A and B are shown apart, each in its own frame.
Chain A
Amino acid sequence: MDCILTIDINTSAVRIHAFDLNGKVLGMRKGSYPTFHPQADYSEQDPEQVFITTLYVLKNFLNEQIHPQKYKVQAICFCAAMHSVLAVDKNGRPLGNAVIWADNRAIKQSKMLKNSPEGNSIYNATGTPIHPMSPLAKIAWMQHQDPERFNQAHKFISLKEYIILQLTGEYLVDHSIASSTGLFDIHQLQWNARSLSFAGIDKEQLSTPVSIYFDEVGLKKEYYKSLRLASTTKVILGSSDGCSATLGSGDIRHKRATVTIASSGAVRVAGKEFLVDEQQRFFNYLLADDYYVSGGPSNNVGVAFDWFTQQFGNFHQGQEFEQVREELIRDAVYVPAGAKGLLFLPYLLGERAPIWNANARGVFFGLNITHEPKHLLRACVEGILLEMYSIGKLLSTQRSFDSISLTGSYASVPLFAQILTDIYGLPVQVNTTVDSIAQGTALIALTQMGYFSGLEEASASTHFTGTYSPDEQNHDLYMRYFEVFERLSGKLEEEFEMIAGLQ
């Protein structure tokens, strides 16, 4: 029987799925790798470890599941987290670690650019908000702060490009990953001269941008041999995690938003027009077939709840973290909506969309003498989800939607799904049996191979395992809370800066 493999090189792990040609999951394997924080603002990964883990998982998966069951692998399609950047020398050897999306070292460079007239033009051309997350800002940082590495660099590539380079010997970048660099013109489909000059590089120092369907190079012959794959097995470049998750979580023709709640989060919409915003609050990433994925990311989602668990969870008798977190979620169910008039702004790590303020900080607001720890708990969950609503609300000013697909690790937590549906006042649909990123990646491969006429038809093949419906009363209540939430997060800008200066 025929199958395809999807390889998702994500922030914490590589996940490899096998799908049949109807887009049904046959199996999955993963392998994790660490993120290093050599300094407070730094987040790095070891490219060799990411590569070797990918290769090891792929090999084990093939040898232990795919080959014994006599599946024939027709194609391998890739996907990866956005915004990573790695300098390599002329032999393709990494010069140090890859700098990933969470890294904030380039805060100065991005601030400078954002406040310049150049900034707006670059944002409009590239679709990537000017922020330390973007490779544009990181390369500019390296030019000024690490000139030795910068000058040795033959090319600047993402982790995905590094894996592709190792496996195929070619420097290639798909349009989706390219469109998250801040260096790529999403209208002209070429590297943007203004960005290049800000970063201090020329376009030969970047990979060749190609469509997500690109399949013109194969694996190095040693890998076909050692992985026992037929030399006809296609390599399809694929897309980015954000684009794939959106594609894999519902019909892209529908008026639908995809909310991802994992360690970090995002609200995204797919459409044929990119969103213009004078305040540069949305990203616009390029998928294919004229589709863009637009939206906003949040730093403080699962991370904020983990923080709460760590500080306030009941760790009696050496209970494990995951167990305590589950207990907290169970406890939060029994606290009435609104946590007795207590609000939480979850900005523990500063915030990206919609306020784009690295100095933002967490706030419990409205505490009175009757509040108990359980109210703080409930407020924490609601605060995280109100933040996901604030991104969605801003998006809806440009693109209306009437349902939500919820993805990410918290999609399987009914409390989060129910509060989200109540806040939005819209039905929330989940598929808890399939990883939307892998599904989206498989749909790209199957479209490329001709099993679907295009991404529209491919995305229509997705389905849901559950639907949550809003409670009108709770919705009205949450809207009153949101009014306070929104006012506060806007009002506190100066105070955020003052308090951040004291930390």
Chain B
Amino acid sequence: MNHLLLLQQGQAEQLRHFPYITELVKLKVQNIQLNSFTIKTHSELRVGLITEGKFDWNIAGQGYTLFPGDTALACPWQAIGSTKGIMDIGTLTWIGIQPEFFDAQGKLQLGTWSGISESEQGVMGKILAMNKTPVLTRFGAGATILQSIEYEIMQQEMGYRTRVNHLLDELFIEMVRHLSKAENFRRDFPQIFLKLEQTLRSNLAHPWTVEEMAGLVGLGTTAFTEKVKVFTGFSPLHYLINLRIAEAIKLLRQSNHSLTRIALETGFYSSQHFSSTFKKLTGYTPRAYRKNQ
């Protein structure tokens, strides 16, 4: 194994100013070593880019074959490693980034170094956590960004610390955009919307924002709102109210849950908010509706 670059936090002086970068490694593998790449989880987010060779990896329990140009992405709770336990022959680069907080529900706080707003980090965390394809194909931006990060860290020219932080932000933004666009490539909007609908439905209690919903389908909020209006006849938030009330009706009729519980389960702030919205739409208060049935 031939390390073209090996920077590890705590050992490499170059990473001293970047405590959130756990490692930056460039590796050329010329002969196979046993147990050189076993499957395990890391506490950080790992992004690996293949430049030469063919790698059989297992990410989050699924097998993938990676070719040059492919980028692997493993979140902190996802195990990554080689199916055979060995690093295959070839060349690759990876970076480990340790967010301040990142969990499988998608709650993400990158840290004070990041210039991405808190709410956008929330959306990005959701998209990363919900992502089902940890291998990004034709992700050209990744190679360029990793190369620039390496250059900045090694050369330490004026302003390099700011530059590296910007590049890390850039990497996150490009990855998330790539993921949400790749998901919906060659799909018409009704199909895209149906998938989003299922996501909303599976977690109605979450206080969904338009930014989150638009991010999930890889659109800007303006285009997203416009498209949702044309397709569904409702603004995104009104469509969401539809879903919430329909679910609430089901719970009112088929369960004995309290109104407060139904309100919270279907994503209303309070039973008052639930009652007034319900009454405005159906003409009945939730209590009267339940009694009537």
Which A residues fall within an 8 A CB radius of B? Answer: 12-13, 29-32, 34-35, 46, 48-49, 51-53, 55-57, 59, 91-93, 222-223, 225-227, 306, 309-311, 313, 315, 318, 320-322, 325
Minimal beta-carbon separation of B229 from chain A (angstroms)? 10
Minimal beta-carbon separation of A202 from chain B (angstroms)? 25
B283 close to A226 (CB less than 8 A)? yes
Minimal beta-carbon separation of A43 from chain B (angstroms)? 12
**CA–CA, A46 to B65, complex, Å?**
40
Minimal beta-carbon separation of B219 from chain A (angstroms)? 10
Q: Pick the residue among A48, A49, A92, A322 that contacts B188 (CB under 8 A).
A: A322
Task: Give the chain B neighbours of A46 by CB distance below 8 A.
Answer: 246
Q: Please report whether the interface of chain B is mostly helix, strand, loop or mixed according to DSSP.
A: helix
A222 close to B250 (CB less than 8 A)? no
A52 in contact with B188 given A59-B281, A223-B283 (CB within 8 Å)? no
B189 close to A53 (CB less than 8 A)? no
Shortest beta-carbon contacts, A-B, top 4: A226-B283, A321-B188, A49-B246, A31-B233
A226 in contact with B188 given A48-B246, A52-B242, A93-B293 (CB within 8 Å)? no
Task: Give the chain B neighbours of A57 by CB distance below 8 A.
Answer: 233
Task: Give the chain B neighbours of A56 by CB distance below 8 A.
Answer: 234, 238, 241-242, 245, 281
16 A-B pairs within 8 Å (CB atoms) are namely: A12-B190, A31-B232, A31-B234, A32-B231, A32-B232, A48-B247, A52-B249, A53-B242, A93-B253, A93-B254, A222-B283, A223-B283, A306-B188, A310-B186, A310-B187, A322-B189
B242 close to A31 (CB less than 8 A)? yes
Task: Give the chain B neighbours of A92 by CB distance below 8 A.
Answer: 293
Minimal beta-carbon separation of B290 from chain A (angstroms)? 11
B186 close to A321 (CB less than 8 A)? yes
B155 interface residue per 8 A CB criterion: no
Minimal beta-carbon separation of B196 from chain A (angstroms)? 10
Number of interface residues of B (CB under 8 A): 30
**CA–CA, A81 to B254, complex, Å?**
27
B197 close to A34 (CB less than 8 A)? yes
Residue ID in chain A nearest B232 by CB atoms = A32
Minimal beta-carbon separation of A481 from chain B (angstroms)? 29
Task: Give the chain A neighbours of B107 by CB distance below 8 A.
Answer: none
Task: Give the chain B neighbours of A223 by CB distance below 8 A.
Answer: 283
**CA–CA, A53 to B233, complex, Å?**
10
Task: Give the chain B neighbours of A31 by CB distance below 8 A.
Answer: 232-234, 242
**CA–CA, A31 to B253, complex, Å?**
24
**Scoring B residues 247 to 279 as 1 if CB is less than 8 Å from chain A, else 0, what string do you get?**
101100110000000000000000000000000
B181 interface residue per 8 A CB criterion: yes
Task: Give the chain B neighbours of A12 by CB distance below 8 A.
Answer: 190
Residue ID in chain A nearest B195 by CB atoms = A34
A318 in contact with B181 given A13-B233, A32-B231, A92-B293 (CB within 8 Å)? yes
A55 close to B233 (CB less than 8 A)? no
Residue ID in chain A nearest B278 by CB atoms = A52
**CA–CA, A79 to B126, complex, Å?**
41
Residue ID in chain B nearest A325 by CB atoms = B188
If A30-B233, A321-B189 are given as contacts, then 12 extra A-B residue pairs at C-beta distance below 8 Å, sorted by A number, are: A34-B194, A35-B194, A49-B242, A51-B246, A52-B242, A52-B245, A52-B282, A53-B246, A59-B281, A306-B188, A321-B186, A321-B187
**CA–CA, A230 to B120, complex, Å?**
48
**CA–CA, A32 to B238, complex, Å?**
12
A222 close to B234 (CB less than 8 A)? no
Which B residues fall within an 8 A CB radius of A? Answer: 181, 185-190, 193-194, 197, 231-234, 238, 241-243, 245-247, 249-250, 253-254, 281-284, 293
B249 close to A227 (CB less than 8 A)? no
**CA–CA, A266 to B281, complex, Å?**
36
Task: Give the chain A neighbours of B241 by CB distance below 8 A.
Answer: 56
A91 in contact with B188 given A32-B231, A49-B242, A52-B242 (CB within 8 Å)? no
B283 close to A227 (CB less than 8 A)? yes
B243 close to A49 (CB less than 8 A)? yes
Task: Specify which of B187, B188, B284 lies most central, judged by the most chain A CB atoms within 10 Å of its CB.
Answer: B188
Q: Pick the residue among A51, A225, A320 that contacts B283 (CB under 8 A).
A: A225
**CA–CA, A225 to B232, complex, Å?**
26
Q: Pick the residue among A30, A93, A225, A320 that contacts B189 (CB under 8 A).
A: A320
Minimal beta-carbon separation of A380 from chain B (angstroms)? 16
A29 close to B233 (CB less than 8 A)? yes
**CA–CA, A225 to B279, complex, Å?**
12
**CA–CA, A93 to B181, complex, Å?**
40
Task: Give the chain A neighbours of B243 by CB distance below 8 A.
Answer: 49
**CA–CA, A321 to B231, complex, Å?**
14
B186 close to A52 (CB less than 8 A)? no
Minimal beta-carbon separation of B291 from chain A (angstroms)? 12
A313 close to B186 (CB less than 8 A)? yes
Minimal beta-carbon separation of A319 from chain B (angstroms)? 10
Task: Specify which of A51, A52, A53 lies most central, judged by the most chain B CB atoms within 10 Å of its CB.
Answer: A52
A222 close to B242 (CB less than 8 A)? no
Task: Give the chain A neighbours of B281 by CB distance below 8 A.
Answer: 52, 55-56, 59
**CA–CA, A309 to B190, complex, Å?**
14
Residue ID in chain A nearest B283 by CB atoms = A226
B186 close to A315 (CB less than 8 A)? yes
Task: Give the chain A neighbours of B238 by CB distance below 8 A.
Answer: 56
Minimal beta-carbon separation of A150 from chain B (angstroms)? 18
Minimal beta-carbon separation of A35 from chain B (angstroms)? 8
**CA–CA, A226 to B285, complex, Å?**
12
Task: Give the chain B neighbours of A322 by CB distance below 8 A.
Answer: 188-189
**CA–CA, A51 to B281, complex, Å?**
11
Minimal beta-carbon separation of B281 from chain A (angstroms)? 6
Minimal beta-carbon separation of B235 from chain A (angstroms)? 11
**CA–CA, A46 to B194, complex, Å?**
14
Task: Specify which of B186, B187, B233, B283 lies most central, judged by the most chain A CB atoms within 10 Å of its CB.
Answer: B233
Minimal beta-carbon separation of A282 from chain B (angstroms)? 31
Minimal beta-carbon separation of B240 from chain A (angstroms)? 12
Residue ID in chain A nearest B244 by CB atoms = A52
Minimal beta-carbon separation of A231 from chain B (angstroms)? 14
Residue ID in chain B nearest A311 by CB atoms = B186
A222 close to B253 (CB less than 8 A)? no
A55 close to B246 (CB less than 8 A)? no
**CA–CA, A222 to B284, complex, Å?**
7
Q: Pick the residue among A32, A53, A55, A311 that contacts B282 (CB under 8 A).
A: A55
